[in-house]
Amino acid sequence: MRASHFLSSVLLAGSLVGCSLVPEPELPPPPSPYTDLPGRTSTLSGVVYDPEAFFFLLANWPSDPDHPEDDPPPALYDGPFLMYSSVPEARISVLAPDDSVGGSTTGSPTGSWQLSGVPSSDTVAYSARATPPEGEVVLGAAYMDPEAPPPPVTAPSATYYPTTTLRPIVPHSTLCQLQVATMVGDAGALKAIANTLTDMGTPTTVADLMNPAKTAGVALLWVYEPSFELDIFTIPAEGIAAETNMGQLFAIDWAPPGDGGPGQSPMGYMAIPAPGAMSPLGYYAVVLPPKSEVTEPLQVTFNDTMSSDEGDFPRPWVIPPVVEEIREGVSFGRVFSFPGGEPPPEDETAEPVPFPESNSQCYPEAPGGMRRRG
């Protein structure tokens, strides 16, 4: 009996030792109440249009002599100039300064576009780049009703090129509205520049201006008067001089097609070598050197040569310079002036008028607290 008890004890001890050698099963960690949220993103929306065609339509649109007050203003909203200069179904991409793509989308037949999922930032400035659709581009095609009379004016047909818009977009808001993407072709200033260079002894085509072996491209910069609302009213500014830190500078003029001087383009634009010339439209072009020869950003400064206390915006105007890293190809900048002079005395009896809310336009801050517009 003692032997039986001893044997039972040994077996029990052995079983206990065996159990101690079996690892305990690992239990899953308790569910965490916290999780990483997805990165904050913004939705961008706007229009893509040809600004040279916009002015061509504005300059040629017939006026009603009996009701001139009914003439459409040169404003970017749903009016005839924007309608018939809109680029249908263009590809819109937004590029960060390092050329990384923040997102892409295809515009509508009416030229409107919306891009969701762009990483939000208070510091990263994106640039919109518009690429033409495959096939022939017909401006304002969605508004051409075959059963209705045609519009009184249409812009000449053109071959269009991918165009970078030199208006920085900082997507610090959930929704960035009224983003303007631009696209230009060979019927406007580009053709005028090629014609002028040819007349100066350097045979040049628009294709040559887009050839990265010959040039980093062309920067087109159009200075507008101060806008009555945000950057909606695009009124060409006269009396504006320009200087550039690189490349060949041209002042761009315009006259009805056939009425201009040598080198006039199909849309009526002419290129005059500068310095020494001033654009009556405030429109300038810089033919850039090859990118391999560029060691600094492009910088173009503007100076208002006029002085006046008349009108809504005293002169000389304050015009921010354009400072941009070189991106090969064609680029277009809408440069808006700011009123000069001393601010008017405050009327203590007037009702306060809040400054227009512009957060949804996603302007970057400029020196002096101004919002950059372009």
For the segment 208-260, what is each residue's pLDDT rounded down to a tens digit? 999 999 999 999 999 999 998 888 999 999 999 999 999 999 999 999 999 88
Tokens of 359: 């957060």
Give the bridge partners for 72, in sequence order.
none
- Count the residues in the chain: 374
- Which amino acid does the sequence have at 20? S
State how far the Cα of 135 lies from the Cα of 298, in Å rounded to an integer.
33
Query: 162: number of CA atoms within 13 Å, CB side?
Result: 16
Other beta carbons within 10 Å of 341: 14
- Residue 6 is predicted with a pLDDT of 47
Residues of the chain where predicted confidence (pLDDT) is lower than 50: 2, 6-7, 10-14, 16-20, 367-374
Q: Is residue 296 packed enough to be buried (19+ CB in 10 Å), middle (13-18) or exposed (0-12)?
A: exposed
Apex CA 267: angle with CA 178 and CA 224, to 5°? 40
